[in-house]
Amino acid sequence: MDIKQLRTFITILEVENITKAAAMLNIVQPAVSRQIQMLEEELGVKLFNRSRHGMALTDDGKLLEPYARRILEDIESAKLELTANKGVIRGKVHIGVLSSISELLSTLIMSVIKEKYPEVQVKISVGYSGHLKEWLEAGDIDLALMYDSTPSKLIDLIPLVREPLFLIGAAQTLLRLNKPMDLKEIENFPLILPCHPHRLRTLIEQASKKNKSNLNIYAETNDLNIQKQLVIQGFGYTILPLVSVINELNTGSMKAVPIVGNDFVRVITLAMHSTRNIPKHVRIITGEIMGCVRRSIDEKKWPNAKWIYERE
């Protein structure tokens, strides 16, 4: 098994056609077929089902795919690491960001990286904490800004930010920012919350249970925009950090009130894979991302957030 064979394997599975793969690899078609034949003979399995419709992976081929991709990615990372040692920072970085903070941070992160490291390609994927954790464990993303999560052998978590949660209502409600509300009062409010197993839903329920309070759940949705629109239209209330509703508070379409107690808080962490080698360019960009988070707090663009990172 060698790099050429793995690259040929990945190219064929992506285009599902030997002729197209040969053109992309800039080699003749018989050479492509020979590369796959040698790989199949070495592994002792059939990797593709061949038909007049093209090439489709077998079950064994599907098993090989993530390993082949990772090997090729690691080789590319090694090349970039050696280049970085010569003073040139280039490469690809795939960042995962919670939907609730993506609007605040994505533009800032992109602008900082573009200015300082123009040869670094950045991809930002937005998702919920559970999705980000899965992507990180699978190696689909390099790092993530996500909720404090349950312990995992595959992920290292660095707490960065702590922020309180607020009861959020429509503009016509009587909520007042300077009048905190306790949980017993909130029991009377119909809530629109994310579905299980959303981390925010779990956090809210744990805090309510600890305080022996009952939640009045009116509706559930995992789409933050739908959640906010339902609240604005007067269907109910929700519980979110202020960063999720900055624009709505500024335009007056929503109101927020603090919740009494220290249990309704969330912690945002920087998450990275614990067992994979982290290339130099990814480590550098990670530092820049931490700087963007700190800057957002220092410049009061992330309301009520507290920087909690402690350097070891």
pTM score, two decimals? Answer: 0.73
50-87 pLDDT tens trace: 888 889 999 999 999 988 988 888 887 777 667 655 66
> Rounded to 5 degrees, what are φ and ψ at 222?
-95, 0
Identify the CA nearest to 292 among candidates 143, 165, 90, 141: 143
> Rounded to 5 degrees, what are φ and ψ at 75?
-65, -45
Domains of the chain in start order, with CATH, are 3-83 (1.10.10.10), 89-162+267-307 (3.40.190.10), 166-263 (3.40.190.10)
pLDDT of residue 124: 96
97-106, 134-143, 154-163 — which is least confidently predicted?
134-143
Token pair of 193, please?
């919350």
pLDDT of residue 137: 86
Other CB atoms within a 10 A radius of the CB of residue 29 amount to 13
pLDDT of residue 104: 94
- Give Cβ neighbours of residue 28 (< 8 Å, ≥ 6 apart): 22
Identify the CA nearest to 120 among candidates 298, 307, 286, 274: 286
Cα–Cα distance for residue pair 264/41, rounded to 1 Å: 59
Mean pLDDT of 134-155: 87
pLDDT of residue 298: 96
pLDDT of residue 96: 97
Cα–Cα distance for residue pair 27/18, rounded to 1 Å: 11
% pLDDT > 70, the chain: 96
Alpha-carbon torsion angle 12, 16, 19, 25, nearest 10? -30
Indicate the pLDDT class of residue 184, thresholds 50, 70 and 90: confident
Strands 54-57 and 48-51, bridge-based pairing: antiparallel
Other CB atoms within a 10 A radius of the CB of residue 78 amount to 12
254-277 pLDDT tens trace: 999 999 888 889 999 999 988 777
Indicate the pLDDT class of residue 285, thresholds 50, 70 and 90: very high
Cα–Cα distance for residue pair 42/50, rounded to 1 Å: 19
Q: What is the mean pLDDT of the chain?
A: 90
187-227 pLDDT tens trace: 889 999 999 888 899 999 998 888 888 899 999 999 999 99
Q: Which residue has the higher pLDDT, 175 or 144?
A: 144
pLDDT of residue 250: 93
pLDDT surpassing 60 at residue 312: no
Q: Residue by residue, what is the 3-state secondary structure of the chain?
A: CCHHHHHHHHHHHHHCCHHHHHHHHCCCHHHHHHHHHHHHHHHCCCCEEEECCEEEECHHHHHHHHHHHHHHHHHHHHHHHHHHCCCCCCEEEEEEEEHHHHHHHHHHHHHHHHHHCCCEEEEEEEECHHHHHHHHHHCCCCEEEEECCCCCCCEEEEEEEEEECEEEEECCCCCCCCCCECHHHHCCCCEEECCCCCHHHHHHHHHHHHCCCCCCEEEECCCHHHHHHHHHCCCCEEEECHHHHHHHHHHCCEEEEEECCCCCEEEEEEEEECCCCCCHHHHHHHHHHHHHHHHHHHCCCCCCCEECCCCC
pLDDT of residue 83: 65
| CB-based contact 259:166 (threshold 8 Å) | yes
